């Protein structure tokens, strides 16, 4: 988990808070207890050009249809160091 980091893509939010003012917490919820298993603080955006690139890996930052930056992942796409692919997006494990 990214503790105390301050750059884009560097914060997790297991409890749903802790993100900067221009970010929204994106969480993956696990069953059966409905607790967050992965999360990332995602910057709000209107277009992909506003989304910062990751510091490592080859996942490309994109602005999704909900107005949030995301790092899409899957076959052949590597998330930034210590992040994992969860729900086809790079997030921090908990």
Residue ranges of the domains in the chain?
Answer: 23-93
Query: What's the pTM value of the predicted model, to 2 decimals?
Result: 0.84
DSSP E strands, 1-94: 23-30, 35-43, 61-63, 69-71, 84-86, 89-93
Residues in contact with 2: Cβ distance below 8 Å, sequence separation at least 6, in sequence order: 10, 11, 12, 82, 92
Reading the chain (94 residues) residue by residue, the pLDDT tens digits are: 443 445 678 889 988 888 999 999 999 888 888 888 899 999 999 999 999 999 999 999 999 999 999 999 999 999 999 999 998 999 999 8
Phi, psi of 21 (to 5 degrees): -60, -30
């Amino acid at each position: 988990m990214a503790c105390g980091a301050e750059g884009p893509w560097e914060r997790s939010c297991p409890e749903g808070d802790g993100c900067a003012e221009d970010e929204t917490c994106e969480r993956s919820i696990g069953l059966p207890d409905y607790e967050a298993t992965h999360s990332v603080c995602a910057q709000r955006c209107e277009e992909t050009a506003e989304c910062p690139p990751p510091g490592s890996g080859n996942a490309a930052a994109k602005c999704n249809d909900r107005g949030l930056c995301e790092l899409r992942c899957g076959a052949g796409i590597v998330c930034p160091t210590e992040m994992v692919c969860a729900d086809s997006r790079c997030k921090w494990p908990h």
